[in-house]
Amino acid sequence: MADDQFPGWHGTTIIGVKKGGEVVIAGDGQVSLGQTVIKGTARKVRRLSPGGYDIVAGFAGSTADAFTLLERLEAKLEKTPGQLARASVELAKDWRTDKYLQKLEAMLIVSDGSEIYVITGAGDVLEPEHDVTAIGSGGNYALAAARGMMDTDKSAEEVARAAMAIAADICVYTNGNLTVEKITK
């Protein structure tokens, strides 16, 4: 799909960093419609607690679609408590094969504090290679910045915040108003 047909991909930056026994997922607060900033304080990172298990999720793309996916993920986690990988694969399978879900335009980063995954509508459940991943329009900027800081003394949160600041300086669809959620296992 051409970039101009799916402007939702260009409206945010979400990063996940796993370091020092914790995972941090951070997201900016900017909501853009074309070249106009509609809102600067949106919360694109959320804490879920299906079945009493703590999960953190961040989303890029259409907000309504992302909320639909988060609800589906919660339902999968309630059926498979404490098994984020299994619930993520089940969600990705449904997303890929269900005619309604196939139309959803979003991506998710999810973590239970020990693992971190990117879930896509292409049926992918990806584990990042260098304990850092990012999605959205500024995702590659944040990813490169974070990868450059992983071997420093910075904590997961410090890496995530610094990487997001760099992405916000480069990507016009990303701002510095962050929502940061930390989770340990």
Query: Is the CB of residue 19 less than 8 Å from the CB of residue 155?
Result: yes
Q: What is the CA radius of gyration of the chain?
A: 15
Consult the annotation and say whether 168 binds a ligand: yes
* 12: annotated active-site residue: yes
Pairing state of beta strands 116-119 and 125-126? Answer: antiparallel
The CA distance from 118 to 61, in Å, is 13
Angle at CA of residue 114, ends 50 and 122, nearest 5°: 70
Catalytic residue among 12, 13, 41, 97: 12
Consult the annotation and say whether 75 binds a ligand: no
Consult the annotation and say whether 174 binds a ligand: yes
* Annotated binding-site ranges: 168, 171, 174
Active-site annotation, residues: 12
* Annotated binding-site ranges for Na(+): 168, 171, 174
